[in-house]
Structures are given as structure tokens and as C-alpha cells.
Amino acid sequence: MNNKTYRQVSQIHNAPSPHWVGDGFHVNPMFNHMVADKRTDPFLMLDYASPQYFAPNQAEPRGVGQHPHKGFETVTIAYMGEVTHRDSSGGGGTIGTGDVQWMTAGNGVIHEEFHSKTFSETGGDFEMVQLWINLPTKDKGTSAKYQHLANADIPVVALQNDTHENVGKARLIAGEFTQQTQQTQAKTTQGLGTTFTPINLWDIQLNAHAQVELAIPRTHNLLVLVRQGSVGINQVQYQAHACELVCFETEKGSQGVDYVRFITADNSVELLLMSGVPLNEPIVGYGPFVMNTEQEIHQAIMDFNAGKFGQVA
């Protein structure tokens, strides 16, 4: 007897019109804490730079110059192309295909992001996600730090259906992934990134003509970005397409897990799954600062102007 409960879709959102961040990132702003029309807590913002070709550039690399952040974390995933990062905590490096840079702004940091020199000179296809993750009140004053998550180090698990067939794979950037089929015991794999609150951040790739069920804690808010292809959800009652964001209902206070069933047709599919326990704390945002009160925003501005965020070496 199947006693599983399935997480219901609340809405599927088309990508808003893209805009430029600096001169290097042409992004669709999929959601933003300043609008707050979607259930995204603890995630604040998602910018998706869908695949785009950049011609070779012999001038200075495109990107975004030095700017501050405070009170949250930025996660940048490079799917195609390369991004070079430097920040005032001493963190930095270049991420290529599949790599992730995870910057904790905490009590204040200054950073810059550009196309790498090599990518800028050779040109090519570029695809990127940048996700902002809120820090709980008790951790907003933590020291800034930087995690470089190399593609080769990120755990990958094979996805299986109930007949034990491999139907795709999940790349575990962060969080815990538990899989169980009718023929196997439950097995949990830990993602690579360290987080301040319970968060799952998984890259999902599904083969054509595949079907898989993923377990999501009921205490988590759940969002899915469709990067490529089209996918049916649950009993194919919902169909989501490339560059769309799927938002799910949440059962407040419930324990245990819900399931989401993904079904593909003649095409393979690539998804970014984001889930996390909501902080349920006040959010006051001002540009690159996200705090809990207006007073804290004013203090962040004063600290930045006083040079307390350090300097990019």
C-alpha cells in the first residue's frame, strides 16, 4: 500500500525579462526578497543567466566590479563558461564548468566577479546561476568566508526508479539526499557545501522517458528551476519548461517527508532543486545588504563607508 504524500505545486512562474548585472551577466531575475510574492524563505534571490554566446573579447573581461554585501550568502554555479572571483576575506579563484563558489558575506565583505581572462579571450557559451541565501539573525555577524566547491569533489548519486533502473543523476551541492526504492534500503548522501541552516541544493539530470520520486522534508520550502527541457510533475498534472520556476505548497510545522515525482517525455531535463527550512524572521533589504531592521541597515552603510568591510587585495 502506498502511503506516500506528494508535495503539491502552488504555481509555475515564467522567467521575467532579463537585465544586465554589470556588463557580464545577462540574467533573468527568477525571484527577489524585495518583491516577496513567492514562498522562497530562506532563499532571497535567484538570478539565472540562461545559455548565451559571448564573442571573444580582447579588452578587459566583462563582469561586476567591487561592491559590498552583508547579512547573507551568495552561491554562484557555473554551468558553462568561467567566472573569476576575489573578495576582502582573502577568498577567490576561478570556477569553470560545474564548479561552485559559496561566499558568506556575514558581517561584511567586498567582492568582484568577472568572466575569467581565458574565457574572455576565447569566448563561448555562458550559463550561470547566482542564489542568495539568508543568514539567521544569530549568524549575520559571522566572519566572511569563501568556499570553492570543485565539480570533481561534489558528490553525484545515480537516480533510480522503482524497478531499479538508472534514470538520471543528482549532484549534491549542499544538503542531505536520501533515496529508497521498493528493492533497496534507504541510503543518505551528504552534499559538499557547509550551511548555517538546513538547505538542499541539488542539480538534477533526468534521462528521456524517465520517472523518479524525490523525498523532500515537509519542514522545507521547495523551489525548482527548470534549466533545460520540459518535465511533468506528480501525475503530469503540471508541466514545466525551460527557464520556468516551480513553487510548491508547504505544510507548516509538519514532520516527515513529502515526495515529488518528475516525469520526462522525449527529452532529457536539467533542474536545480532548492529546499530549506524557512527562518521566519524579519527581512529588511537595501541593495547589497539584507538585515532584520532598518537600524541594522543604517549601521551596515556606516560600517561600509568607514572601511570596516576590508579591501580586495
Distance between CA atoms of residues 23 and 115, nearest Å: 10
Distance between CA atoms of residues 17 and 243, nearest Å: 11
Residue 302 DSSP one-character state: H
Closest by CA to 290, choosing from 137, 94, 154, is 137
- The confidence score (pLDDT) of residue 231 equals 97
pLDDT grade, residue 2 (50/70/90)?
Answer: low
Q: Are 162 and 182 in contact (CB under 8 A)?
A: yes
pLDDT grade, residue 184 (50/70/90)?
Answer: low
Judged against a pLDDT cut of 90, whether residue 66 lies above it is answered with yes
Judged against a pLDDT cut of 80, whether residue 251 lies above it is answered with no
Tell me the pTM: 0.95
Judged against a pLDDT cut of 80, whether residue 261 lies above it is answered with yes
Question: Which residues 6+ apart lie within 8 Å of 302 measured at CB?
Answer: none
Q: Are 142 and 107 in contact (CB under 8 A)?
A: yes
Distance between CA atoms of residues 273 and 182, nearest Å: 24
Judged against a pLDDT cut of 80, whether residue 237 lies above it is answered with no
Distance between CA atoms of residues 249 and 127, nearest Å: 29
pLDDT grade, residue 182 (50/70/90)?
Answer: low
Averaged over 33-59, what is the pLDDT? 95
Query: How many Cβ atoms from other residues are within 10 Å of residue 150's Cβ?
Result: 13
Per the prediction, the chain carries an average pLDDT of: 95
- The confidence score (pLDDT) of residue 161 equals 86
